[in-house]
Every structure is written in C-alpha cells, then in structure tokens.
Amino acid sequence: MMRQYQLVERVRAYDPGVDEALLNRAYVFSMQAHGNQKRASGDPYFSHPLEVAAILADLKLDDATIAAALLHDTIEDTDTTREEIDDLFGTEIGGLVDGLTKIAKLDLVTKKAEQAENFRKLLVAITSDIRVLLVKLADRLHNMRTLEHMKEGTRKRIAEETMDIYAPLAGRMGMQSLREELEDLSFRWLNPEAHKTVTDRLKALRGSNKGLIRDIRQALDAKLQENGIDADVSSREKRPYSIWRKMERKQISLEQLSDIYGFRMITGDSADCYRVLGVIHTTWRAVPGRFKDYVSNPKQNDYQSIHTTIVGPRHQRVELQIRSERMHNLAEYGVAAHALYKDAANGPDAANGSVRSYESNAYQWLRHLVELLLEGDNPEEFLEHTKLELFHDQVFCFTPKGLLIALPSGATPIDFAYAVHTDVGNSCVGCKVNGRHLPLVTELKNGDEVEIMRSEARTPPPAWEGIAVTGKARSAIRRATREAVRKQYCKLGREILGRAFNRVDKQYRKSMLERALARLSHKTVDDVLAAVGRGELPSSDVIKAAFPKLAPPAPPKRRSVTRSAGEGWFGIRKAIGLKFRWPGLAPKVDGAAAAGIPIRGQKSDLPVNFTAQGGAVPGDRIVGILTPGEGIAIYPIHAEELKQFDDEPERWIDVTWDIDEASTDRFPAQISVTAINEPGTLAQIAQIISDGDGNIDNIKMSRQLADYTEMLIDLEVWDLTHLNEIISGLRAKSVVSAVSRVH
C-alpha cells in the first residue's frame, strides 16, 4: 500500500504548489474513518480510496480532487457526516464527496428501469462538477482491477455495467487510455475464453514482430530527421478487446488485421503535423480511403489527430497517428488533461476551482444528455438513447450555410434535421444531399451537404422512430407522436363534454372548465379534455365540477334502434377511416359547431378496434363504445355484446363510415358454412372466396358429422356488398348446404 509521503510526492511532481497539508489531513482522516474495515480481497478498506487517489494522480489532477478521492467513501461507509467534511476540508471538497456519496447509493443494478433512473441521477450529479465523474471513473477502474475477489454473479453485473456505461462514457470524455483498460477488464470477465485466445495470440505475435516494429520505427524517425522535423516516434499495440471487436465486426481473422501495431508521431504543434504528413506521403505510398483529418475536424470529445495508413518499410501496411503534444495529452486524458485546469484558471468560474469553467465539447455533450432526460422521456427511453449516443462513431455533415453537424455513423437526414433544431425535424418533408433529392432514409457520409425541406403543416410519422439513429431524434419523434394522439383525445373529449353539457341544458365553454380545474385536479383545460377523451375522467364528474349546485340529471335511456345491416350508412368507399358523429345536432364548441373527429381506424394513433364476434364491415350500421384507457371499440348495431353497456349510455358513440376511396384496406367478417363432407369440398369453398377477391384469415371446423361439416371462416373483405357477393357465390355451389354471417 502506498505511503502518505509517496502520494504527496507523486502530486508534487506535476504540481509544485500542491497543498501538502490538505492531502496529509485527508490521508489520515480517511485511514482512521475506515479503521478495521476490509475489502472482499481481505485488504484494508483504506487501500481502495488510496489507489483511487493514485489513479487520479497519474491523470495529474488537482489536490482538491485527490483529497476527494481519499474521502469519497467516508460518508457512505463510515459514521462521518457531510458537516464534518465541510468543517475539516471546506465546502468544495465536501460537495465533491457528497456528490460521490449520492452516486454510491445509486449503484446501477440489472433491472433496466432502475438502472436507467439511477444513471439519470448520476449524470445530473456529474454536471454540477466534472470532477465527480473523474473520481467515479477512477473508483470503477480500481474496482475492475480487483474484480476477481467478487462473486461470479456480481463480477458479471459490474463488468456489464462497465462495458455498457462507464467505458464508453470515459471515451466520450476523451479519456481513451482509461476507456481501453475498462473495456479490457470487462472483456476478461464477460468473455474469458475469447480474452485468453486473443491475449495468447498477441504474445506469439509480439515475439515474431519485435524486429519489424523496431525497423519501421527507425525508418520513420530517420526520414523525419532527414527533413529537419523534431518528432517523437513510438509504437503501440492494439488492446485485446479492440482486436476482438474489429474481428467480430469485419468477420476476419487476427492475421488479417493490418493495425494490430500502430505508430504515433508526436510533434511540437499542429503545423508540424502537416509537415510530417507531407514527408510521409511523399516517401511511402498512402493506402486509399485510410486518411482522416481530425485536426481540422475534431471529434465531439475534442480528440484531434491525423490518421493515415501507408505501405511502409518492408512493404508492410503501417497505421500512423500524427498529433501535437497538446493533442496527445487531450487524446490520452480528455477532460482530465492538466492543460484544461490551466485554461480553467483564467475562466470566469476559476475562483471556486471548478473545472466547469472549461466548456469542452465533451462536457457540452454530457450537458446535452441531461437536456434529453429533462425533456420528459421515461427512464428506459433515456438509457436507450444514451447508449446510442455513447457507442456510435461519427460522421460530419454540413448545412447549406456551412454549419458543421456531427452525427453518429449510420445517421439519416432525419437525424440531421433534428440535430439542427427540433422544429426543423418535426416539419421535415424531404431533403437534398449534395444538391440531389434523396430519400429521408439515406445514410449520410462524411462531408455531405444536407438541405432540409420543410412544411409547417407536417408532423413526423411514428415510423420515423425506427429510422432515426440519434436519441434526440427518436425522443422528439416520440414526443410529437404523443402530442398528436393527445390532440385527438382532446377533440374527442370536447365532443363528449359538448354532448354532456347539452343534456343538462348548458352550453360548453372553455371558461367553465378553467374555473373548475382545481376541483378536477388538472392543470389545464386540455388535460381535462384529454382525460375525458381517454375515458379516464367521466363527463358527469366534469358537470359536477363545473356546476356544483346543479341537480344530477336522470340517466338517459338507450334509444331503440333497428338492427338492420345497412341502415344509416352514408355510402361505401374503399379504405379505412371512421368519423365520429353524435346523434342529432352537433354540439356547440366555443360558439362553433363541432366537426366530426376523423381517425384512420385500426392503424390510427387513436386506438380503434373491431371487437365484436363476426367483425364489422362498411355497410353495417355501427356504434362505438368508449373504453377507459383503451380507446374506441366498434360494434355492429346488432351485436349481442352491446347489451352489457345498456346501463352506461355515456360510453355510447354513434359512428359512421367515412371512407377514402383510394385505400386498399380490408375489414373483418365471419361466416358459418355447412358443406357436404367429401374430398375437395374445402378446396372448392376456398376457390370461390379467392375468385371473389376475399382473403381467408382463419378456418375452424366447428362440428363434423358423417355427411356434413360445419366450419367458421374468418374473412377480410372490402365492404358489405363484397361480403354478400362471396356469400351468394358459396350458396350457388352444390357442395354447400347453407351459408350465414356470424353476428
């Protein structure tokens, strides 16, 4: 275990002005607070916060963060209070330790909803101070390094959390070294066999390639010196998990990988990066399609480097990364890079020592995640969107005015539109990519110029959610869809209340509901209308709230109807679509006549189902029954099931067919057929239905006798006329004894 003076010396090596007294107090206090506590390995518990502090010292973090690391488990696992930490170490360190304590209580679990909700809380805590995240990642790294001492089930859970959340989060914060180690440690426990295979193969390659790597490095170094360029050339070996992931993604063997060994060339500044590139490309042949300039177009986590692949010395493919010293520090340490603290010291928030004064792209991305969770998505959606944002690589596209938009790989113009602005996405109707009209499902590529065509009358279709790649686009589409459904429920609720107000000789007005909102426990009139439309709030309760002194009306009797199949039908047209109409005159809504509420039937956002046995087809007289939380159930007027609703007249809605002639949708109907029991009978019946352009959905043999068979056939037909034509065709067959429709 590291000694007290060793930790202080390690921090002083990069920060001569370190507050040694602070670190000494934190060291002693934490050791005494944890006392005789033990870890699962049997080591003193204090060894854990000490190792976390050492990891952060390697990242060259400030003394307040090191002190917080030493103290990060004291409030959680000992009798220490926040007040004690504030008194002894100040409110800044107290805030960091308190933030980490809250996170420790929210350790993620495998249940998806709890995991998602806890991760939301984690990100909210982190956005108060980025150092909370840095300590949390160091804490997780040391736990992963000692994971072999945990039970098997616990090991797998922690490894999964690390691979899904912490490793990609470290990557998004630009901390690549920490990300790679977290991934490798997780890989070891999640897929031990694959980890051992790749590790063993790397050991074998390491020995055979030792001379080759030395020769390539010397050749590169000599060429740079020849051109008067001062650059440090080093080699690096790809991590086992990165190798395994690439083998899986490209379905290739380890021997086919050309970038197991790569070379970094670190220069003094960005201008030297391009000088190095010029020397390299004029000396050796570049591999087409393998050049990426992240210096002029940094990644979202501030990563900058030039990537290229050449056919270099010994005719080997050599992958090169060219970057300046500053770029290298950012690439390795990300938001933890010591340079950021120097920059932060001059910022507007420098007085309180917070790193938040440096608003890097990586930190802005983290804030963007928190904005997503504050927009009302449920926890599961948020976790899904977060993982999408964490795992995707990027493509860079441009607006017609030259604005750079960074998107995940595989993104479409739909994602681009929502990345520009939510309103742009919601009103998107088409796009031009590089001046050409292309479908909205087109996958965008680096450098594409995208122009979005808009229409304010348009709302995004729900199907877009399955096309969009970014979490922002998906959540916005889902919200727009919910809002569209809500508007339909509001319309339906307004119709229902108009009818209810008419029954008590009152005229519906919005102002009446506004006065009754408190009694109805709703915030807005639209909330009331939507609740009534969904069947969650009875119209009688609204009447009572709006007119407390009004005597309750006698329940209306169900009016008698003639149950004839075609009565009241306004014409058959071939498509799905219903329009609600109230019997008698339409009620007044805010002084205007209420229009019918058009919906699209079974496939509408407003749930509409044909629930009666035997179905319903255009030509039947139909009624709707409002079911709380489920929408509208459509029944033929002659359905026996309607008897159960005799005592609930307010749920009855007269509906009529309002059909679009261009549609090809079919409707359900059921017929009973009695046929002679002989070979070929079923084939003849099916042929008649097929010739009549009907569709058989299901057949059930209800009763079989020696000479006859009774069968129930579920059909899909255009309308009542179409159904009657099929029934007539069946009756004309000699093998058919009787045909009737099932009601």
Q: What is the pLDDT of residue 389?
A: 54
In a domain? residue 385: no
CA distances from 648 to 239, 522, 538, 635 (A): 69, 25, 11, 15
Q: Which of 175, 196, 217 is the last residue of a domain?
A: 196
DSSP state for residue 86 in the 8-state scheme: H
Tally the C-alpha atoms within 13 A of residue 496's C-alpha that lie toward its C-beta. 31
CATH number at residue 427: 3.10.20.30
Q: Contacts by 290-293 with C-beta closer than 8 Å and gap 24+?
A: 290/319
In a domain? residue 543: yes
Q: What is the pLDDT of residue 212?
A: 80
Q: Does position 488 have pLDDT exceeding 60, yes or no?
A: yes
Q: Which of 628, 657, 686 is the last residue of a domain?
A: 657
Both 192 and 207 in a single domain? no
- Count the domains in the chain: 5
Mean pLDDT for the stretch of residues 599-613: 52
DSSP state for residue 147 in the 8-state scheme: G
Query: Taking a C-beta distance cutoff of 8 angstroms, is the pair 639, 610 a contact?
Result: no
- CA–CA distance, 526 with 491 (Å, rounded to integer): 9
Q: Which of 196, 213, 238 is the last residue of a domain?
A: 196
Higher pLDDT, 158 or 616: 158
Q: What is the pLDDT of residue 359?
A: 54
Q: In this structure, which amino acid lies at residue 679? A: P
Both 535 and 462 in a single domain? no
Q: Does position 273 have pLDDT exceeding 70, yes or no?
A: yes
Q: Does position 471 have pLDDT exceeding 80, yes or no?
A: no
The tens digit of pLDDT for each residue in 493-528 reads 888 888 788 888 888 888 888 888 878 878 888 888
Query: Taking a C-beta distance cutoff of 8 angstroms, is the pair 53, 65 a contact?
Result: no
Both 459 and 607 in a single domain? no
Higher pLDDT, 382 or 432: 432
Query: Taking a C-beta distance cutoff of 8 angstroms, is the pair 172, 390 a contact?
Result: yes
Both 32 and 163 in a single domain? yes
CATH number at residue 691: 3.30.70.260
Both 529 and 673 in a single domain? no
Both 510 and 649 in a single domain? yes
**In this structure, how many other beta carbons lie within 10 angstroms of the beta carbon of residue 272?**
19
In a domain? residue 68: yes
Both 501 and 617 in a single domain? yes
In a domain? residue 240: yes
In a domain? residue 352: no
Both 50 and 165 in a single domain? yes
In a domain? residue 366: no
SS3 for 314?
A: helix
For the chain, the distance separating the N- and C-terminal CA atoms, rounded to the nearest angstrom, is: 82
In a domain? residue 353: no
Helix, strand counts (H, E) of the chain: 28, 23
Catalytic site positions: 76-77
Mean pLDDT for the stretch of residues 521-549: 82
- Sequence-distant (6+) residues with CB within 8 A of 692 are 722, 725, 726, 729
pTM above threshold 0.95 = no
Residue 283: give the domain boundaries: 202-338
- CA–CA distance, 575 with 581 (Å, rounded to integer): 18
Question: What integer best gives the mean pLDDT of the chain?
Answer: 78
What's the per-residue H, E or C state across 601-621? HHHCCCCEEECCCCCCCECEC
Higher pLDDT, 115 or 622: 622
Beta 592-593 vs 588-589: how paired, if at all? antiparallel
Query: Taking a C-beta distance cutoff of 8 angstroms, is the pair 614, 669 a contact?
Result: yes
Both 207 and 152 in a single domain? no
Both 311 and 433 in a single domain? no
Both 249 and 186 in a single domain? no
DSSP string, 673-736: EEEE-STTHHHHHHHHHHHTT-EEEEEEEEEE-SSEEEEEEEEEESSHHHHHHHHHHHHTSTTE
Both 430 and 488 in a single domain? no
In a domain? residue 358: no
- 483 burial level (CB within 10 Å; 0-12, 13-18, 19+): exposed
Q: What dihedral do alpha carbons 258, 264, 270, 275 form, nearest 10°?
A: -70
Q: What is the pLDDT of residue 481?
A: 84
Query: Taking a C-beta distance cutoff of 8 angstroms, is the pair 701, 687 a contact?
Result: no
Split at pLDDT 50, 70, 90, the class of 412 is: very high
| Sign of the CA dihedral with 237 first, then 238, 241, and 247 last | negative
Q: What is the pLDDT of residue 453?
A: 93
Higher pLDDT, 365 or 685: 685
Q: What is the pLDDT of residue 697?
A: 86
Least trusted range by pLDDT, from 25-29, 206-210, 238-242, 692-696: 206-210
Residue 631: enclosing H or E segment and its boundaries?
Answer: strand 631-636
Least trusted range by pLDDT, from 478-482, 590-594, 608-612, 647-651: 590-594
Query: Taking a C-beta distance cutoff of 8 angstroms, is the pair 708, 676 a contact?
Result: yes
Q: What is the pLDDT of residue 27?
A: 93
Reading the block at residue 59, the tokens are: 């990242």
Split at pLDDT 50, 70, 90, the class of 601 is: very low
Q: What is the pLDDT of residue 496?
A: 81
Reading the block at residue 570, the tokens are: 């306004």
Reading the block at residue 610, the tokens are: 């044909």
**In this structure, how many other beta carbons lie within 10 angstroms of the beta carbon of residue 479?**
16
